[in-house]
């Protein structure tokens, strides 16, 4: 089982590591003896999350840090071309560094304690570990970080958006003016196409259904090539904002001259600009509509009542991470 050892305030080391190599960048360096003579090593550029990065290794420690302990190697992630970012734009990153261990044949993982997510910007283009790996540990063959004067380092860079979506869901039960009567004029029992009522709003305030209207869609349910025996009734939302989902519970009634013969069913669903229907495929028998004295189709009109029981509103905003 992997275990993590906190060896320095700035880092956490997963000594167990993993067998899989780093996803975004790996470099094999030789000879190690010459690497240790360099003041700075800068890697080639690699892409991750739609941005370009490079690594900066100070084999003898970062010379720019006051009071830096020279026995520690320093390793940093650099953002290439930060000027492509907007003035206030930040790129939030979860990055990990790796050092290959030839003894266990695994990649040991190095991360920052308590700083798994860091933000790059025009002003902050370099982040990492001033105390990445001690030279004493690195140089000791027993520790497995060098073999035949070779060593391997790597990095993974997981980029998230600098902004996140904040969503507030408000559930309204029995909203005001929640019962609407609508009709489908010129309703035809012989039509093979869907038939619609006019669109209608629910309630006198639109804050819980912003820019949303609804209408009823009815058609004769079909089974393959066979004419169906049922009337399908759906509540259909129009004008929903993209990426917003709205919950609705409603009672749908097909009205009869005799109210005791009304057909009623309760429906519910999450509606969006892609999936905007909720209803019942077998709402009532089609033959009841076709009866001349059935009381449902009057003067070529089919009347409905829609009672909204529950409806939701979503308010969304962007927030800096």
Q: What is the pLDDT of residue 143?
A: 94
Q: What is the pLDDT of residue 7?
A: 41
Q: What is the pLDDT of residue 212?
A: 60
Q: What is the pLDDT of residue 227?
A: 57
Q: What is the pLDDT of residue 273?
A: 82
Q: What is the pLDDT of residue 307?
A: 93
CA pair distance 136, 309, nearest whole angstrom: 71
Q: Are 199 and 214 spatial neighbours (Cβ–Cβ below 8 Å)?
A: yes
Q: What is the pLDDT of residue 262?
A: 94
Q: What is the pLDDT of residue 206?
A: 41
SS3 of the chain: the string is: CCCEEEEECCEEEEEEEECCCCCCEEEEECCHHHHCCCCCEECCCEEECCEEEEEEEECCCCCCCCCCCCCEEEEEEEECCHHHCCCCCCEEEEEEEEEEECCCCEEEEEECCCCCCEEECCCCCEEEEEEEEEHHHHHCHHHCCCECCEEEEEEEEEEECCEEEEEEEEEEECCCCCEEEEEECCCCCCCCCCEECCCECCCCCCCCCCCCEEEEEEEEEEECCEEEEEEEEEEEEECCCCCCCEEEEEEEEECCCCHHHCEEEEEEEEECCCCCEEEEEEEEEHHHHHCCCCCCEECCEEEEEEEEEEEEEEEEEEEEC
Examine domains 13-160 and 167-320 and report if their fold is the same.
Answer: yes
Q: What is the pLDDT of residue 161?
A: 63
The residue behind tokens 């958006």 is 161
Instruction: State the first-to-last Cα distance of the chain, in angstroms, to the nearest integer.
Output: 32
153, β-bridge pairs: 27, 99
Q: What is the pLDDT of residue 153?
A: 95
Q: What is the pLDDT of residue 105?
A: 95
**Overall fold of domain 167-320:** 2.60.210
pTM of the model: 0.56
Q: What is the pLDDT of residue 9?
A: 43
CA pair distance 130, 133, nearest whole angstrom: 9
Q: What is the pLDDT of residue 292?
A: 78
The series of mean pLDDT values per 10 residues for the chain, 321 residues long, is: 41 81 93 91 91 93 69 93 86 92 94 78 92 92 94 92 72 87 88 86 49 74 62 86 85 93 93 86 88 86 92 75 55
Residues 6+ apart with CB under 8 A from 233: 216, 217, 218, 252, 254, 265, 279, 280, 283, 284, 304
CATH number 2.60.210.10 is the correct assignment for the domain at 13-160: yes
What residues does each domain of the chain span?
Answer: 13-160, 167-320
The tens digit of pLDDT for each residue in 146-202 reads: 999 999 999 999 997 656 677 888 888 888 888 989 899 988 888 888 898 888 877
């Amino acid at each position: 089982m992997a275990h993590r050892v906190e060896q320095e305030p700035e880092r956490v080391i997963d000594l167990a590591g993993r067998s899989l190599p780093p996803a975004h960048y790996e470099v094999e360096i030789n000879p190690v003896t010459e690497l240790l003579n360099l003041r700075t090593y800068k890697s080639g550029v690699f892409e991750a999350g739609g941005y370009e990065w490079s690594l900066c290794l100070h084999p003898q420690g970062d010379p720019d840090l006051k009071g830096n302990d020279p026995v520690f190697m320093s390793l940093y992630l650099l953002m290439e071309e930060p000027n492509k970012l907007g003035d206030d734009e930040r790129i939030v990153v979860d990055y990990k560094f790796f050092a290959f261990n030839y003894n266990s044949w695994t990649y040991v993982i190095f991360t920052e304690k308590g700083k798994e997510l860091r933000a790059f910007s025009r002003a902050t283009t370099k982040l990492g570990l001033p105390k990445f790996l001690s030279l004493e540990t690195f140089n000791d063959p027993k520790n497995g970080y060098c073999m035949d004067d070779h060593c391997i380092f790597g990095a993974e860079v997981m980029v998230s958006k600098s902004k996140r979506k904040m969503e507030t869901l408000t559930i309204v039960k029995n909203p005001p003016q929640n019962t609407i009567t609508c009709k489908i004029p010129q309703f035809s029992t012989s039509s093979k196409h869907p038939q619609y009522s006019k669109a209608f709003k629910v309630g006198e305030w639109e804050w819980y259904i912003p820019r949303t209207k609804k209408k009823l869609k009815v058609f004769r349910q079909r089974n393959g090539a066979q004419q169906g025996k049922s009337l399908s009734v759906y509540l259909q939302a129009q004008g929903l904002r993209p990426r917003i989902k709205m919950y609705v519970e409603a009672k749908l009634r097909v009205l009869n001259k005799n109210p005791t013969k009304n057909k009623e069913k309760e429906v519910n669903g999450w509606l969006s600009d892609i999936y905007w229907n909720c209803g019942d495929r077998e709402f009532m028998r089609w033959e009841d509509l076709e009866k001349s004295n059935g009381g449902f189709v009057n003067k070529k009109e089919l009347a409905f009542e829609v009672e909204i029981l529950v409806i939701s509103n979503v308010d969304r905003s962007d927030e800096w991470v």
